[in-house]
Structure 1
Amino acid sequence: MEDIKELTKAEEQIMQELWEMNGGFVKDVIERLPDPKPAYNTVSTIIRILETKGFVIHESFGKSHRYLPKIEKEDYKKLVTGKLLHNYFDNSPTSMLSFFLEEKKVDVKDLDEILQIIQKNKSSS
């Protein structure tokens, strides 16, 4: 997983759609993007960059290509959250959770769910 590269904002937006659809053609991705829609060539170029970076593969259908995720969303999530934890919270999950609590990004319902997860993991250890 260490050889996975981070994505630009535009690349990540395209990957989110490909993950959601579990693959598709350029036109399918464009349909799912918010207005104003980017040009076909723009999306096509970004997808080819994603292929170069190893995030997608393609199947050929004549002159058109169907692009499929090669990197799982879960693997990319691990990379991004690991970098966030390392770069901004000194590898401390406690610091990260405290930050979200202080910024009011976590409500009481979220805390209850977190506590349930903690209890479940304590029980299985």
Structure 2
Amino acid sequence: MSRTQITKCEAEVMDVVWDRESVTVNDVVEAIDRDLAYTTVMTTMRILEEKGIVRRGQKEGRAYTYSAAVTREEVRHGMIHELTDRLFGGSVQSLVLSLLNSEEVSPEDIAAVKQAAAKAERGR
């Protein structure tokens, strides 16, 4: 699969799609916590369909249903790779060190990273 990039608005829409098996545009409009026009969500769904992130399904009344064509994890993976390539010259080490050096990292975060790193090391 190619690296899938989504915008903030597309991510909001996809959170609804991933949380449900099948949605209509109206379902998404009602589920999102901010005011988004029906036409905005409909356009976003069309873009997501063109990107291969959602697939259009059956028609229910006058509205089509949509379901996820890729997992949340596939999108995250693609976006992390793109971020790593774009901002850190492809260096995962630089990305991780940058994250660890940020002020938002808690001691719990560092402990979780250490545990994940140890697990990854044992698995190789």
Checking the alignment, whether the CA contact within 8 Å between 2:52 and 2:69 is kept in structure 1 is yes
Percent identity at matched positions? 28
Task: Establish whether residue 10 from structure 1 lines up as the match of residue 13 from structure 2.
Answer: no
Q: 1:40 aligns with which of 35, 38, 41?
A: 38
Matched position secondary structure for 1:105? coil
Cα distance per residue 1:58-115 (max 9 Å; x no partner): 2222322111011221111111000111111122222112212222132111111111
Residue 56 of structure 2 aligns to a residue whose secondary structure is strand
Match of 1:58 among 56, 59, 72: 56
Q: For structure 2, which runs of at least 5 residues remain unmatched after alignment?
A: none
Question: Moved runs in structure 1, 4+ residues, more than 6 A?
Answer: none
- 89-98 vs 78-87, greater mean Cα deviation: 89-98
The alpha-carbon deviation at position 23 of structure 1 amounts to: 3.0
CA RMSD of aligned residues (A): 1.7
Amino acid at match of 1:54: G
Number of corresponding residues? 123
Given that residues 100 and 110 in structure 2 are in contact (C-alpha distance below 8 angstroms), is that contact kept between their aligned partners in structure 1? no
Q: Flag the 1:41–1:117 CA change in 2: closer, same or farther, 3 A.
A: same
Instruction: Give TM-score, length-normalised by structure 1.
Output: 0.85
Q: Where do 1:91-102 residues align within 5 Å?
A: 91-102=90-101
The higher-RCO structure (CA 8 Å, 6+ apart) is 2
Counterpart residue identity of residue 50, structure 2: T
Question: How far apart are the structure 1 equivalents of 2:78 and 2:36?
Answer: 28
Aligned to 1:122: 121
Query: Equivalent residue for 1:22?
Result: 21
SS of 2:117's partner is: helix
